[in-house]
Structure 1
Amino acid sequence: MKIGLIGYGKMGKAIEEIAFERGHTIAFRVNSENPIEQVNLSLADVAIEFSQPVLAFQHIEACVTQQLPIVVGTTAWQEQLPEVIDLLEANDGSLLHSSNFSIGVNIFFQLNEHLAQLMSPYKEYEAEIEEIHHIQKLDAPSGTAVVLADGIVQNNDQYASWICSQGQPPVTTAQQLGVTAIRLPDVPGTHIIRYTSEIDTITITHEAHNRKGFALGAVLAAEFLVNKKGLFTMRDVLSL
């Protein structure tokens, strides 16, 4: 399989390493010195995009209009998802997006939703989310934390919305879930869900040790997407 890399930072290089290990080749690499307008997209069977939120839609549009399936790992662009859906329908395109491509994180999403349902009747427990990432991460909260927060709000009657602050827990109102975003050097990604009462605390945690899990998931997603049409997520890849 010939993969086009859109974004060639730390994640792009990690994806390249996994792609080579799995017998794939790299058709092109898009970065600030080689923008997508200068690339022959037809050289690739599929593109994997990890860039910046402000560039994501431009990259998606370029690939979809040229019938190149695209896996999107950039987060904080999802407000434009309705436009992307229209674009896919108009061009019979294919796109797979996820806030996190790690197999472990996608299992963690399921655990979070199940725990939220279990905890819903127990009003004495207050939920909170803490996410910790490297200082280069631009968006806060992380896309993964957004999915986790939405999972709690949708599955626990105690919460109707969530609010995030950086560096310290936010001040919450009734039925509001607090999300704390922390940025530290050299942290690939840690997400913590806590339910705290006066007598005990229940905690589930996902801690990434490196970027390899994200990169492997992105390549698996690309392998899944080739020769398919439509909009997909990692739940489709992993049959969750």
Structure 2
Amino acid sequence: FYIKYYKNNSLHYFSKELCKHLKDNKITDEVSAQVRKIPADVWRYIHATSNGKIWDDFVEMFPQYTRDEIKRMMFAKVFYSYSKNVTQANELGNAFKTLYPTVTKVIRDLKRKFHTECIEEDRIKMKRIKTPNGNSKIVERDAFQLPHLLMRLESAIFTEILTRLFRKRYLHCIGIHDAVAVMNDKYSPDYIEKIMMEVYKAYGLHPKLDTTTYKNSLIEIIN
């Protein structure tokens, strides 16, 4: 709401307009009270991810790494890490925890939840992993982890997006990981983006979409 209507105005003006918006749309005090309970770091995280800027702060904090390296290491050390807690040796993990403590707690709690469920359901498997010295060892791992949940969510979103697109006559497209490649110009980029955003909004997500044209092909990519 702020980005769309008041990004160039003061916070005071925005606050007044937001109050008016809530009142005009009959959004109850109970709903507003629940919203106020959402921690500030969660709002920052939502804002950063929705605008494709989630890695920018870390690039500034760790200039020795490129943006792609930061992204890859952050997934390895935070989101996809098997560890339930962030260790002191994990510099990027601790930086993420400092910026987004509530989000870090949610990630930790989900990992612990899945671990408990895997133990109760006897879904612990053996896996070979590499050790810091270059060797490998066999360890116990949960059969279902946070990365699986994230991949299932992404798969569900893009399955719905592609299902809707396949129903359009003369629209030739394929899914490529987190992108949709369209092979003709029967439909405008804005129309494709509108369909994608409708699906994302159904999940409560508002990502920023990028469009890249390669000769006669159109690719919509999520940052």
Common fold, TM-score beyond 0.5? no
TM-score by length of 2: 0.26
Q: Which protein is richer in helix relative to its size?
A: 2
Structure index of larger Rg = 2
Q: Which protein is richer in strand relative to its size?
A: 1
Structure number with the bigger relative contact order (C-alpha 8 A, sep ≥ 6) is 1
